Amino acid sequence: MGADEEGTHARLQACRRELVDPKIGEHSGRIVKNTGDGVLAEFPSVVDAVRCAAELQRAMIDREAAASEDRRIRFRIDRGDDPARGAGHPAQSP
């Protein structure tokens, strides 16, 4: 981001507006928190969350194909904690 901070920020905002936010809505999710360069979203089911994440990843590969490798925007997906199981539950381990 450092080489073209303003351009990267504009591309990231467009990506959120045109892809991320609509895709989350398509899968019945909602954005809980926006950190500027990250989004925390929740979904009614794990299936909805995984489908949304997979579709976002595929769409980003297509969307960023023309950008040079060092300029591509990438999203990392994290499953987060399941509050119903608690942070110490074995299924919460990475």
Q: Give domain status of residue 55, yes or no.
A: yes
Instruction: Return the residue matching tokens 């450092």.
Output: 2
Q: Give domain status of residue 90, yes or no.
A: no
CA dihedral 1→11→26→29, nearest 10 degrees, is: 40
Report which residue type is found at 6.
E
pLDDT reported for residue 90: 52
Residues 8, 11, 16, CA angle at the centre, nearest 5°? 125
How large is the C-alpha radius of gyration of the chain?
Answer: 15
Buried-exposed string 44-54: b where 16+ CB fall within 10 A, e elsewhere: eeeebbeebbe
pLDDT reported for residue 92: 47
Q: Give domain status of residue 63, yes or no.
A: yes
Q: Give domain status of residue 85, yes or no.
A: no
Which CATH number is 22's domain given? 3.30.70.1230
pLDDT tens digits, 5-25: 888 888 889 999 999 999 999
Determine the structural domain holding residue 12 and report its residue range.
2-73
Domain count within the chain:
1
pTM: 0.73
pLDDT reported for residue 34: 87
